[in-house]
Amino acid sequence: MKMPKEKLISYLINLVGIVVLFLLFVALFQSGVLGSRTNYVKGIFTTACYTIVLVASLNLLVGILGEFSLGHAGFMSVGAYASAIFTNALAGKGLSDLALFVLALIIGGVAAGIAGLLVGIPALRLRGDYLAIVTVAFAEIIRVAFCNFAITGGGRTISGITKLSNFYWCFWVMVICVTIMYMFVRSRFGRTVKAIREDYIAAAASGINVTFYKVLTFTISAFFAGIGGAMYAHYMTAMIPTNFNFNYSAELLTEVIIGGTGSFTGSIIGAAFLSSLPELMRQFSNYRMLAYSIVLVIVMIFRPGGIFGSWEFSLVRVLKKAKNGELFAKKNKGGAENE
């Protein structure tokens, strides 16, 4: 059966929306209106791109599967180190930068995915707080292990990682990752995973292999965390295992919850906003965690489901409204999260 026509049109509209957004960014950076700040702003946007991938992948666990993970930075670090080791070995061997970048992302994703699978199989027998504790333990074990392996720098900073992550590439990686996650959620897989979140006993009684789908989701989430880690490593070009500490995992979880569990729109806007916030208020960076906590408490009091709840932005919906003349002030382009 062919794709229904209206769906095809809506996918095309979204694609056009994303391309337009991208061209706006290109124009912004190429025109030189930012002057000497161009690279600085580009850096913030690149940070936003990998943070979006990380937060969206965590949202898959927290929002769709309904399980808390406080060890997402652990999976990110597996991806970051695996990809960095890989590119260090292959740099200058004749591969183009783009090929090297894509390979690094895949290596990072697969390494983290395997870690997710290995942790997920035993850990997903647990639920709620117990699972959260296991994920914390995993991230700590990984961090300590990376501090002791020679290949990961033995506790010292490894530097000189090839700088492969630029904003333009990262933008498209982010778009592709979020689209894949979105398509996964809007399919029989996402439906099944949500059913497990709602009631795992009823899900099993509906013929669903609960453990399988939980491990699958956990693995996919870790896979994208690994891709985020690979982008991070090749943007920072230097890193130390303590970068991926508990605070970082907690920060990611905070961004998911503030944005809205189950909403990729929330993840995107939350991650983009919160990853640029510390840059914008660099002099207050010591108070960042404090600010996060306050925002989190406020959001939890007034909007327990997060700012966006499970609502998704839809460019098609906005266009329809605009056509009917009902568009008010709202005109923020979200990107890939809309169908």
Partner 1 sequence: MSDTAKEPVLKAQHLSIVFGSLRAVDDFSLEIGESELVGLIGPNGAGKTTVFNMLTGVYQPTEGAYFLCGKKMNGKKAHQVVAAGVARTFQNIRLFKKMTVIENVKVAMNMHMSYSILASIFRTPKYWKEEAEMDAKAMELLKIVHLADKADYVAENLPYGQQRRLEIARALATGMKVLLLDEPAAGMNPTETAELLDIINVIREKFKISVLLIEHDMSLVMKICERIQVIDYGITIACGTPEEIANNPRVIEAYLGKDEEEVLC
Nearer to partner 1, 143 or 214 (CB): 214
Q: Residue 113 Cβ, how far from partner 1 at the closest point, in Å?
A: 13
The three-class DSSP label of residue 336 is coil
Helix H segments across 31-123?
38-59, 72-90, 97-123
Residue corresponding to tokens 């489901």: 305
Q: Over the Cα atoms of the chain, what is R_g?
A: 20
Nearer to partner 1, 146 or 218 (CB): 218
Q: Residue 208 Cβ, how far from partner 1 at the closest point, in Å?
A: 6
Q: Residue 142 Cβ, how far from partner 1 at the closest point, in Å?
A: 26
Write the DSSP string, 201-257.
Answer: HHHHHTT--HHHHHHHHHHHHHHHHHHHHHHHHHHHS-B-GGGGSHHHHHHHHHHHH
Nearer to partner 1, 183 or 294 (CB): 183
Residues 114 and 85: beta-carbon distance below 8 Å: no
Measure the CA–CA gap between 9 and 16, rounded to whole angstroms.
10
Q: Residue 3 Cβ, how far from partner 1 at the closest point, in Å?
A: 6
Nearer to partner 1, 28 or 210 (CB): 210
The CA-CA-CA angle for residues 265, 210, 220, to 5°, reads 45
Write the DSSP string, 116-184.
Answer: HHHHHHHHTTS-HHHHHHHHHHHHHHHHHHHHH-TTTTTTSPB--------HHHHHHHHHHHHHHHHHH
Other CB atoms within 10 A of residue 51 CB: 26
Q: Residue 334 Cβ, how far from partner 1 at the closest point, in Å?
A: 19
Q: Residue 201 Cβ, how far from partner 1 at the closest point, in Å?
A: 6
Q: Residue 207 Cβ, how far from partner 1 at the closest point, in Å?
A: 4
Nearer to partner 1, 118 or 202 (CB): 202
- CB proximity list for 233: less than 8 A, separation 6 or greater: 79, 80, 81, 83, 84, 104, 108, 161, 239
Nearer to partner 1, 2 or 93 (CB): 2
Nearer to partner 1, 95 or 176 (CB): 176
Q: Residue 195 Cβ, how far from partner 1 at the closest point, in Å?
A: 4
* Largest Cα–Cα separation, the chain: 63
Residues 270 and 307: beta-carbon distance below 8 Å: yes
Nearer to partner 1, 4 or 325 (CB): 4
Q: Residue 188 Cβ, how far from partner 1 at the closest point, in Å?
A: 5
Nearer to partner 1, 1 or 150 (CB): 1
**Contact residues for partner 1, defined by CB under 8 A:** 1-4, 7, 11, 179-180, 183-184, 186-189, 191-192, 194-195, 198-199, 201-210, 310
Measure the CA–CA gap between 40 and 38, rounded to whole angstroms.
5
Measure the CA–CA gap between 241 and 259, rounded to whole angstroms.
27
